[in-house]
Chains A and B, each alone.
Chain A
Amino acid sequence: MSISIFVIAEHLEGTLADMTFEMLGKARQLADEHGGMVTAVLAGYNVAQLAEQLGAADALILIEDELLAEFAPQPYQDVISGLIRERAPGLVMVGSTSMGLDLAAALATTLNVPMLSSCIDLSVEDDAYVVTSQLYGGKIMMETAVTAGTAIAQILPGAFRAEDGQRAGTPTLEEIPPGLHPENFRMRFENFIKPEAGDIDITQAPILVSVGRGIQTQENIALAEELAEALGGSVSSSRPIVDQDWLPVTRQVGKSGMSVKPRLYLALGISGAPEHVEGMKNADLIVAVNTDPDAPIFSVAHYGVVADIFDVMPALEERLGERVS
């Protein structure tokens, strides 16, 4: 089969998101293997100059309007659903991101087409797109096949390599009028709120001692702080810790937190849900301690310890102390 893939490009504050290149790289690979066409869809305002980075696509559909300058779900949904309905591509790739999470399921509902979330792998077999989804906090994989019509795949960040989609060169450009009717929209983007600088920039820390739900109480964070000090590192965390107000949001690793690439990432009591893994899987050395032998964190860690963090932390701190003295 000749494939036809649309990649919905994402950009924020004038920069294309890595997600865009990750999806383009995979789409390019499938089109090269099976024959067919990759089309990038770029909606925004004053974004035409981004086209020259989208060389991995064969074609680019550019839709510009002031209402599309920053993401708000309704206007984006409106232009993209119209486009998909008209062009009927085989597969539409959308990121499992802040933008994509609002867009993909809404598009699927409006267009009445299948949509598969949390996609970590994608292939083409016997005239079907085969989507592997990573669900249940990373514990279960589901492989599905879509045979007819248009389908939407929502791709997990980090599932594919951004480098594969970063090719210079401007694809064949087609500009289409947005045809938006502002009076139909009951929402609009208002403004950005920039994050306040934290006490520590975890993206710059060479060593991160990162705590998850397994730390159990706010008081126990002090144990991680002590260990981090012994290692010459800083403490970061997964989302639940920040949601409990035990650490500031500036310490959060993962989706909607920071992406980090320290020399050592010591994950303590972190299960390794996809939302967390996307922010730390590129660390040079990953060591995970968790009581659950099936915790998905062990599939990204280089070394794993199936044990209680409250046994390992003091032993490790003591051992590090011995070396110093």
Chain B
Amino acid sequence: MNILVILKQVPDLVEELEINDDGTDLDRTWMRYIPSEYDEHALEQAILLKEEHGGTVTALCLRIGEVDDTLFTAAARGADRLVRIEGDFEGISSRDAAAVYADHIRRGNYDLVLTGVQAHDDLNGPVGARLAAQLEIPYVGVVSGMHLDPETGVIHLHKEYPGGLLTVIRTELPAVVGIQSAVKPPRYVPIAKIRQASKSAEIGEETAEPQSLTPGYTVRRVFKPEGGGRAEIIDGAPEDIAARLVSIFSEHGLVR
């Protein structure tokens, strides 16, 4: 069972996001990147599958910002193989990224590709769905559980709907799966273990020229939502804030 996990680097939302001078994209000069949270769940799910059924887990990153730490962390968590693809990928769309991933996968021998169900910057939709369509293999997203039958090469995927409802979809391998959340929260690895991985694990390097086809739309404007929106902001010391909140609750008949 060979599993590929796609780890995408996305802007860290804890940092202030800046918009470029002509207002058509983010300014990425000082951007800090972190792995997309859903992809970390995809990695955890891959490692859980490996622990249950054996096989290998390959973690793949396009070089966007600093990715080696992301890959070494994946190794410390249990990934067996690390791949970094070099190229001009900053701001790449999920559509164009899917083509790069598809190319790698065609040259590999993977039974299952796991990726996050979406990333917060996917203007062109989830990369997993695009990748599977390019490879003409099955895709199921919004998945938070699975049961693999290695004998038959079939995977039963638990797909989420509102209100906690799940459907089970039986899918033949190879397939791409968009992970909403792993069965268990992504495991914690101590820094020492990551440091150790950075010494022992090797990162396989590939290069790719991303295609940049015309997207079929034009970006007219990139902007931040109106400042503060509609909330009336309550300032003051915690006691003053508490007093004001209780009086608001009282006006709404929520406290006696």
A: residues with CB less than 8 A from B are: 12, 70-74, 98, 101-106, 108-110, 113-118, 130-131, 133-149, 151, 154, 186-195, 207, 231, 239-240, 243-245, 249-250, 252, 255-259, 263-264, 271, 273, 284-285, 287-288, 292-294, 296, 298-307, 311-312, 314-316, 318-320, 323
B185 in the interface (beta carbon within 8 A): yes
The chain B residue with its CB closest to the CB of A191 is: B168
B243 in the interface (beta carbon within 8 A): yes
Indicate which residue in A113, A136, A186 contacts B216 across the interface (CB closer than 8 Å). A113
16 A-B pairs within 8 Å (CB atoms) are namely A98-B160, A98-B162, A115-B125, A117-B123, A136-B11, A136-B121, A140-B222, A143-B220, A151-B217, A186-B137, A193-B158, A255-B162, A258-B163, A294-B16, A302-B230, A318-B242
Residues of chain A contacted by B118 (CB below 8 angstroms): 101, 117
Contact A315 B162 (CB under 8 A): no
Residues of chain A contacted by B218 (CB below 8 angstroms): 144-145, 147
B223-243 residues with Cβ-Cβ distance < 8 A to A are 223-226, 228-235, 238-239, 241-243
Indicate which residue in A110, A154, A192 contacts B165 across the interface (CB closer than 8 Å). A192
The chain B residue with its CB closest to the CB of A239 is: B181
Which 7 pairs show the lowest CB-CB distances between chains A and B?
A299-B229, A105-B125, A195-B164, A114-B216, A304-B231, A109-B133, A315-B238
Contact A264 B121 (CB under 8 A): no
B5 in the interface (beta carbon within 8 A): no
A158 to B183, CA, bound (A): 28
Residues of chain A contacted by B37 (CB below 8 angstroms): 240
Residues of chain B contacted by A231 (CB below 8 angstroms): 249, 254-255
Residues of chain B contacted by A273 (CB below 8 angstroms): 120
Contact B162 A192 (CB under 8 A): no
Residues of chain A contacted by B47 (CB below 8 angstroms): none
Indicate which residue in A108, A154, A192, A240 contacts B166 across the interface (CB closer than 8 Å). A192
Task: Given A130-B220, A304-B233, decide whether A319 and B166 contact each other with a Cβ distance below 8 A.
Answer: no
B: residues with CB less than 8 A from A are: 11, 13-14, 16-17, 19, 26, 37, 41, 94-95, 98, 117-118, 120-127, 129-130, 132-134, 137-142, 144, 156, 158-172, 175, 178, 180-181, 184-185, 215-226, 228-235, 238-239, 241-243, 245-246, 248-249, 252, 254-256
Contact A256 B229 (CB under 8 A): no
The chain A residue with its CB closest to the CB of B14 is: A292
Contact A101 B13 (CB under 8 A): no
The chain B residue with its CB closest to the CB of A198 is: B164
Task: Given A139-B224, A264-B249, decide whether A101 and B178 contact each other with a Cβ distance below 8 A.
Answer: yes
Task: Given A117-B123, A306-B233, decide whether A138 and B130 contact each other with a Cβ distance below 8 A.
Answer: no
The chain B residue with its CB closest to the CB of A12 is: B161
A73 to B238, CA, bound (A): 50
Task: Given A138-B225, A273-B120, decide whether A187 and B169 contact each other with a Cβ distance below 8 A.
Answer: yes
Q: Which of B125, B140, B224 has the largest count of A CB atoms less than 10 A from its CB?
A: B125
Task: Given A258-B163, A298-B231, decide whether A303 and B13 contact each other with a Cβ distance below 8 A.
Answer: no
Contact B217 A305 (CB under 8 A): no
Contact B171 A115 (CB under 8 A): no
Nearest-Cβ distance from residue B221 to partner chain A, whole angstroms: 4
A114 to B130, CA, bound (A): 12
Task: Given A109-B95, A301-B231, decide whether A101 and B141 contact each other with a Cβ distance below 8 A.
Answer: yes
A108-B124, A144-B219, A192-B166 are known; give 16 further A-B pairs, CB within 8 A. Answer: A73-B141, A104-B129, A110-B133, A117-B118, A139-B225, A143-B219, A143-B223, A154-B125, A186-B175, A187-B140, A189-B170, A256-B180, A285-B254, A300-B231, A312-B241, A312-B242
Q: Which of B217, B232, B246, B256 has the largest count of A CB atoms less than 10 A from its CB?
A: B217
Residues of chain B contacted by A74 (CB below 8 angstroms): 138
Q: Tell me the dominant secondary structure on chain B's binding face.
A: mixed
Contact A315 B217 (CB under 8 A): no
Nearest-Cβ distance from residue B172 to partner chain A, whole angstroms: 4
Contact B133 A195 (CB under 8 A): no
Nearest-Cβ distance from residue A207 to partner chain B, whole angstroms: 6
The chain B residue with its CB closest to the CB of A322 is: B246
A233 to B213, CA, bound (A): 53
Contact B220 A307 (CB under 8 A): no
Nearest-Cβ distance from residue A247 to partner chain B, whole angstroms: 12
A245 to B184, CA, bound (A): 8
Indicate which residue in B168, B222, B228, B235 contacts A190 across the interface (CB closer than 8 Å). B168
Contact A190 B170 (CB under 8 A): yes
The chain B residue with its CB closest to the CB of A263 is: B254
Contact A245 B238 (CB under 8 A): no
Residues of chain B contacted by A250 (CB below 8 angstroms): 164
A231 to B134, CA, bound (A): 53
Contact A146 B217 (CB under 8 A): yes
Nearest-Cβ distance from residue B8 to partner chain A, whole angstroms: 14
Residues of chain A contacted by B134 (CB below 8 angstroms): 109
Contact A307 B216 (CB under 8 A): no
Contact A303 B232 (CB under 8 A): yes
Nearest-Cβ distance from residue A256 to partner chain B, whole angstroms: 4
Residues of chain A contacted by B172 (CB below 8 angstroms): 186-187
